[in-house]
């Protein structure tokens, strides 16, 4: 699974990297070295413009979304805390994800992610969970395959009220490979740049094409290094969380 990750790139850099055509400068997120479920995270997605002048034109957006997908039929948003990941093997058939899989796909930029491995403390002999930071060896941005969804807050009566709608997202996971596989059996699925356009296209991909695409995750080598257990506490943040420690 993926329960924590790192996202520190400037939105201006993400706009260029992902060829975004619509980003609002007033929507800002601080660099986050300990992204946790229900946090707002950067997401890249495409949708059709609703403006009368260019109705039907597809634009690529960079927006902050809440991590933890809340299906449109959910009665409250608490369910999102349990929907932070979607397994690639079943994402196309699970009721919570299958509609978004066909129509609302996104990319979630990340510097890397954390996973925990059971380890024995040599000083005490007790078993504890050792966190690892897993990231591309070349430190390039990881484009994690994700889904997004709209949720209508039924307690807000007016549709045009900014608080009436919430956009949420989830990360698709796959079997871990490379260094990640030595730490944990699952990992977030990252896509390569040649798949960005097809993955984000909201209307021209069938389920079989999409599943084939997810069978070919981004290449490249991952590095895993042990980091301090300070990352276990979601209140802790900062670049010091990435410093290597003795395992």
Q: Which of 106, 115, 149, 169 is catalytic?
A: 115
Q: CA 151, 18, 12, 64: dihedral to nearest 10 degrees?
A: 10
Give Cβ neighbours of residue 231 (< 8 Å, ≥ 6 apart): 4, 34, 114, 131, 133, 241
Give the pair of three-digit tokens for residue 193: 């740049």
Is 175 labeled as catalytic in the residue annotation?
A: no
Give the pair of three-digit tokens for residue 130: 């050792």
Q: Which of 2, 46, 149, 169 is catalytic?
A: 2
The Cα–Cα gap between 28 and 93 comes to 34
Is 30 labeled as catalytic in the residue annotation?
A: no
Q: Indicate which residues carry an active-site annotation.
A: 2, 115
């Amino acid at each position: 699974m993926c329960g924590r990750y790192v996202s520190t790139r400037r939105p201006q850099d993400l706009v260029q990297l992902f060829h975004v055509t619509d980003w609002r400068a007033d929507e800002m997120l601080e660099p986050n070295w300990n992204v946790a479920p229900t946090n707002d995270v950067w997401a890249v997605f495409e949708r059709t413009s609703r403006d009368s002048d260019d109705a039907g034109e597809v634009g690529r957006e960079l927006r902050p979304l809440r991590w933890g997908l809340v299906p449109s039929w959910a009665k409250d948003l608490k369910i999102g805390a349990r929907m932070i990941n979607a397994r690639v093997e079943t994402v196309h058939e699970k009721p919570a994800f299958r509609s978004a899989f066909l129509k609302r796909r996104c990319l979630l930029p990340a510097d890397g992610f954390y996973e925990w491995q059971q380890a024995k403390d040599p000083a005490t002999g007790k078993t504890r969970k050792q966190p690892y930071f897993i990231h591309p060896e070349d430190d390039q941005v990881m484009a994690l395959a994700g889904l997004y969804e709209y949720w209508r807050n039924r307690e807000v009566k007016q549709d045009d009220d900014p608080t009436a709608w919430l956009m949420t997202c989830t990360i698709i996971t796959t079997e871990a490979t490379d260094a990640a596989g030595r730490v944990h059996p699952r990992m977030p699925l990252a896509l390569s740049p040649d798949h960005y356009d097809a993955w984000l296209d909201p209307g021209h991909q069938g389920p079989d094409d999409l599943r084939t695409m997810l069978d070919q995750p981004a290449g490249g080598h991952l590095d895993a290094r042990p980091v301090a257990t300070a990352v276990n506490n979601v209140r802790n943040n900062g670049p010091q969380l990435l410093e290597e420690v003795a395992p």
